[in-house]
Structure 1
């Protein structure tokens, strides 16, 4: 599949679906109303960026939508991946202790998310 197989309108639908999946991941993984409200900032800024790149910097709107959609999906995967650690952090905070996520796990999550985003973007574009 390539990006040209979908129209720009269809890519907007994909972008909205990616935004909803990101918001759902944040809401169901963190279970915190404040985190859910703050997570709305990412899709709004992303949509503004997509509209800003339209016709500038040599990018088409479709390319910007692909990058935006894949970025939000990779962030949603990251949030789902760190959910067990967030539960441990919350349980430790309730007992007055601290819990640190091992550095290797944080690095592994980061590498996997970036690799996913880069591979999918290059496959689509």
Structure 2
């Protein structure tokens, strides 16, 4: 009986760790949201239906979204804070996608590796 309890506890803990690196949020159109995934990183990367975009935290394009062709995308509804947090003001359905810091290395604990944190934003 003790083995069953131990296995159950281990299973619940493993299940919690497997999903810990992915978080999601559902926003209404027009809502504001603070993205904290970029804290202490060099950039924030987002994958949208329109393609991949990157917001640099320093340099010429600081605080602006830039697409994979190097073209600046309208970033007027976004505010970059010094610690890498990004505020979305008045979210739109076009902001739906995945957001993650860059670089976003795999998390290693001993011999085990865990997927890096990813934020999924859905705007309806």
TM-score (norm 2): 0.28
Higher radius of gyration, 1 or 2:
2
Decide which structure has greater strand share. 2
TM-score (norm 1): 0.28
Decide which structure has greater helix share. 1
